[in-house]
Structure 1
Amino acid sequence: MTEQNLAQKTTVRTQKYKRELLWLSPALLATAVLFTVYLRSHPYPSFGAGLYLLVAERISEAGYALPKTIPYYTDGGVPFAYPPLMFYAVAAIRDLTGLDPITITRVLPGLVTMLYLVPLYLLARDLLGSRPEAALTSLLAAVSPPVLQWHISAGGIVRAPAFLFALTGIYAGLRLYRDRDQRWVVPSLALFTLTVLTHPLYTAFFALSYFLLFLAFDRTAWGLLRGAVVGVGGITLAAPWWIQVMSYHGVDVFTSAAGTHGGIGGGIQSLQALVEFDVHGALVGQLWAVVPLFGIAYLLKERRYFLPVWFVTVMLAFGKPRLSVTVGAFIIAVFLLEGVGPWLKRETPLAVGRRGFVTAALVLIATVGLAGGAMYATGDVDAHAGSPSLPQFITHDDVEAMEWVETNTDPSATFVVQGDAAEWFPQQTHRTMLVGPWGVEWKGHEPYNRQLNLFRDISSCNSAHCMSQTLSEAGVSPDYIYLPKGTFTVRGMQYQRTSKLAMSMHLSPKYRTVFENDGVIVFEVMGGEQGESQTGTGPGRKSGNSDGENSGGR
Structure 2
Amino acid sequence: MSGATIVRRIGPRLPALPVDSDDARWLGWPLVVGLAVVALYLATNDYPAYGAGLYIETADAVRANGYALPATVPHYGPEGVPFAYPPLMFYVLAVLRDVGAGAFVMALYLPPLVTVAALVPTYLLGRDVVGDRRAGTAAALLVVLHPQVLEWHISAGGLVRAPAFVFALWGSYAALRLFRDGDREWLLPGLFAVALVAHTHPTYTVFTVATYLLFWAGYDRSPAGLVRGAVVGFGALALALPWLATVVGHHGVSVFSGAAGTHGGLFGVVYRLREWGPTGALVPMAAAVGLLRTRHRVLGAWTVAVWLLFAQPRFTYAVGAITVVAAVVELAERGYLDGAVALVDRALGHAGSGPPDRADGGVARPHVGVARVVVAALVVLSLVGLGSVGAEFAGAGGTTPEFVDDADVAAMTWAAEETGPDATFVVLGDAAEWFPVHTDRTILVSPWGAEWRGPDTYQRHLDAFVNGSECANRSCAEEAMASVDARPDYVYVPKGAYTVRGDYEHASDTLESTFAESPRYERAFENEGVVVFRTVTASDRTATGSGRPATPRGPRRQPIR
Partner of 2:384: 368
Partner of 1:177: 179
Q: Does 1:25 align with 2:24?
A: no
Task: Tell me, in whole angstroms, the C-alpha distance in 2 between the residues paired with 1:207 and 1:14.
Answer: 24
Equivalence map 1:322-333=2 (5 Å) = 322-333=314-325
CA displacement at 1:453 relative to structure 2: 1.1
Partner of 1:525: 535
Q: Does 1:227 align with 2:229?
A: yes
**Which amino acid is the alignment partner of residue 114 of structure 2?**
V
| TM-score normalised by length of structure 1 | 0.88
Contact 2:187–2:232 (CA under 8 A) maintained in structure 1: yes
Partner of 1:462: 472
Equivalence map 1:42-191=2 (5 Å) = 42-96=45-99, 98-191=100-193
CA displacement at 1:172 relative to structure 2: 1.1
Task: Tell me, in whole angstroms, the C-alpha distance in 2 between the residues paired with 1:15 and 1:100.
Answer: 36
Q: Does 1:445 align with 2:455?
A: yes
Partner of 1:282: none
Partner of 1:209: 211
**Which amino acid is the alignment partner of residue 371 of structure 2?**
R
1:350 to 343, 353, 374: 343
Partner of 1:498: 508
Secondary structure of the 2:531 match is strand
Task: Tell me, in whole angstroms, the C-alpha distance in 2 between the residues paired with 1:447 and 1:212.
Answer: 34
1:225-245 per-residue CA deviation (whole Å, 9 max, x = no partner) reads 111111121112101111000
**Which amino acid is the alignment partner of residue 490 of structure 2?**
Y
1:194 to 177, 193, 196: 196
1:113-149 per-residue CA deviation (whole Å, 9 max, x = no partner) reads 1111111111221121110111101111110111100
1:400 to 402, 410, 429: 410
CA displacement at 1:414 relative to structure 2: 0.7
Task: Tell me, in whole angstroms, the C-alpha distance in 1 between the residues paired with 2:554 and 2:243.
Answer: 43
CA displacement at 1:15 relative to structure 2: 13
Contact 2:424–2:488 (CA under 8 A) maintained in structure 1: yes
1:15–1:210 Cα change, 3 Å: closer
Contact 2:464–2:483 (CA under 8 A) maintained in structure 1: no
CA displacement at 1:344 relative to structure 2: 3.1
1:273–1:368 Cα change, 3 Å: farther
1:37–1:524 Cα change, 3 Å: same
Task: Tell me, in whole angstroms, the C-alpha distance in 1 between the residues paired with 2:263 and 2:204.
Answer: 13
CA displacement at 1:448 relative to structure 2: 1.0
Secondary structure of the 2:262 match is coil
Question: Larger deviation: 185-194 or 157-166?
Answer: 185-194
Secondary structure of the 2:525 match is strand
Contact 1:125–1:131 (CA under 8 A) maintained in structure 2: yes
Secondary structure of the 2:458 match is helix
Partner of 1:247: 249
Secondary structure of the 1:462 match is coil
CA displacement at 1:44 relative to structure 2: 0.6
CA displacement at 1:535 relative to structure 2: 5.0
Gaps of at least 5 residues in structure 2 are 1-15, 346-368, 557-561
Aligned residues: 514
Task: Tell me, in whole angstroms, the C-alpha distance in 2 between the residues paired with 1:21 and 1:374.
Answer: 26
CA displacement at 1:547 relative to structure 2: 3.1
Task: Tell me, in whole angstroms, the C-alpha distance in 2 between the residues paired with 1:318 and 1:362.
Answer: 30
Task: Tell me, in whole angstroms, the C-alpha distance in 2 between the residues paired with 1:537 and 1:337.
Answer: 78
Secondary structure of the 1:393 match is coil
1:462–1:533 Cα change, 3 Å: farther
**Which amino acid is the alignment partner of residue 344 of structure 1?**
L
Q: Does 1:411 align with 2:421?
A: yes
Contact 1:298–1:339 (CA under 8 A) maintained in structure 2: no
Gaps of at least 5 residues in structure 1 are 1-12, 278-284, 382-386, 539-545
Task: Tell me, in whole angstroms, the C-alpha distance in 2 between the residues paired with 1:481 and 1:548.
Answer: 17
1:482-511 per-residue CA deviation (whole Å, 9 max, x = no partner) reads 011111111112111132211222222111
Partner of 1:7: none
1:123-180 per-residue CA deviation (whole Å, 9 max, x = no partner) reads 2211211101111011111101111000000000000000111111111111111221
Contact 1:484–1:519 (CA under 8 A) maintained in structure 2: yes
1:483 to 476, 483, 493: 493
Secondary structure of the 1:524 match is strand
1:360-416 per-residue CA deviation (whole Å, 9 max, x = no partner) reads 2201211221111112233x16xxxxx432110011111110010010000011111
Partner of 2:305: 313
Secondary structure of the 2:20 match is helix
**Which amino acid is the alignment partner of residue 154 of structure 2?**
I
Partner of 1:4: none
RMSD: 2.3
Question: Larger deviation: 47-56 or 213-222?
Answer: 213-222
Contact 1:94–1:100 (CA under 8 A) maintained in structure 2: yes
Secondary structure of the 1:522 match is strand
CA displacement at 1:440 relative to structure 2: 0.9
Task: Tell me, in whole angstroms, the C-alpha distance in 2 between the residues paired with 1:74 and 1:402.
Answer: 17
Contact 1:34–1:377 (CA under 8 A) maintained in structure 2: no
Task: Tell me, in whole angstroms, the C-alpha distance in 1 between the residues paired with 2:255 and 2:27.
Answer: 42
**Which amino acid is the alignment partner of residue 400 of structure 1?**
A
Task: Tell me, in whole angstroms, the C-alpha distance in 2 between the residues paired with 1:537 and 1:473.
Answer: 31
Task: Tell me, in whole angstroms, the C-alpha distance in 2 between the residues paired with 1:75 and 1:128.
Answer: 52
Task: Tell me, in whole angstroms, the C-alpha distance in 2 between the residues paired with 1:346 and 1:242.
Answer: 58
Task: Tell me, in whole angstroms, the C-alpha distance in 2 between the residues paired with 1:441 and 1:250.
Answer: 15
Secondary structure of the 2:336 match is helix
Secondary structure of the 1:262 match is coil
Give percent identity, aligned residues only.
42
Q: Does 1:434 align with 2:444?
A: yes
Contact 2:521–2:535 (CA under 8 A) maintained in structure 1: yes
**Which amino acid is the alignment partner of residue 41 of structure 2?**
Y
1:300-345 per-residue CA deviation (whole Å, 9 max, x = no partner) reads 4535311111111001001321110111111211223341584332
Question: Larger deviation: 54-63 or 289-298?
Answer: 289-298
Contact 1:525–1:534 (CA under 8 A) maintained in structure 2: no
Contact 2:115–2:162 (CA under 8 A) maintained in structure 1: yes
1:351–1:436 Cα change, 3 Å: closer
CA displacement at 1:291 relative to structure 2: 2.9
Question: Larger deviation: 345-354 or 135-144?
Answer: 345-354
CA displacement at 1:297 relative to structure 2: 4.9
